[in-house]
Structure 1
C-alpha cells in the first residue's frame, strides 16, 4: 500500500515544536555569552584608557605620594566618566622613575584592576571577571622632582 504525502506530513506534526524547544535555549545561551563577551571587550578598552590617564597624571607629579594620589584620582575619574561600574578597583603605581636624577629619563607604571560584574546583565551569566591594564608614562627628565 502506498502512502500519500499528506499521510507522511501528518506523522511529523509537533516536530517543529520539539525542534524549537531544543534550539531556543541554545540561542538564548549564545546571546547571553555574546553580551557577556561584549561587556568584557568594552570594559577592557575603558580600563586601558583609565590606566593611560592614571599613568600620565602620575608622571606629572613631583613626589611618589603625590603620584599615587594623582593616579588613584585619575583612574577613578576616568572609569566614572566612561560609565564603568567596577565592583572593586585597585590602582598600583610604580614610582621608581621619580627617583631618577635630573637629566636621566624615568618612567611611572600604573596598573589598574577592575572587577566587572556579569550578574547585572539580567541574563543567566553568573559571577564576575577581574580585568587588568598596565600603562607606562615617561617622566620628563628635566623636570624638578622631590629630593632631586
Structure 2
C-alpha cells in the first residue's frame, strides 16, 4: 500500500512542469516581442517618410524651374531619410511641379510623394512579409510673387 501511495505522489508531483511551461510560453513571448519590434519599425519609418516628404516638398517649392525642383526634392528626401537612419530597400520620389508653371501672382503648390520599402525580413517571423512599402505625400505652397521658370 505504501509503495502504491509513493508511486501516486511521484506521478502527481510538479517536477518537470516548469520546463514544459517554458517550452510552450517562450516561443509565444518571442513572437510577441518580434511583432512589437516590427510594429515599432513600421510606425517609426512611416513618421520618417512623412518628414522626408515634407522636407522634399518644401525644398522643391523654393526652386524656379521644374528640373531644379525635381533634383532638389530627390536629394532632400534622400538626405532626410539618411539623417533619420531609415534604410529603404527601394526609394521612389515623385514630384508634381505643375505649380511652377502657374503665372506669378496666383496661388500654386508643389506636391511630393515619397515611397519607401522597409525591410522586415531580419525579424524572422513566420507569416510576416519580408518588406512593407510605405508612401507619404506632402504639399508645399509656392511663393505667389516669386518669379517662376515654368516647366
Q: Output the TM-score relative to the length of structure 1.
A: 0.89
Deviations along 1:12-67, one digit per CA (max 9) or x if unpaired, are 32222211111100000000000011111111111111000000000011011111
| Structure 1 residue aligned with 2:113 | 111
Aligned residue number for residue 146 of structure 1:
149
Q: Distance in 2 between matches of 1:94 and 1:7?
A: 78
Match of 2:98 in 1: 96
Question: Partners of 1:84 and 1:124 in 2: how far apart?
Answer: 19
Structure 1: any 5+ residue segments left out of the alignment? Answer: none
1:124 corresponds in structure 2 to: 124
Alignment partner of 2:16 out of 14, 17, 21:
14
RMSD: 2.2
Provide the aligned length of Structure 1 versus Structure 2: 144
Uncovered stretches (5+) of structure 2, i.e. residues with no partner: none
Secondary structure at the residue paired with 2:15? coil
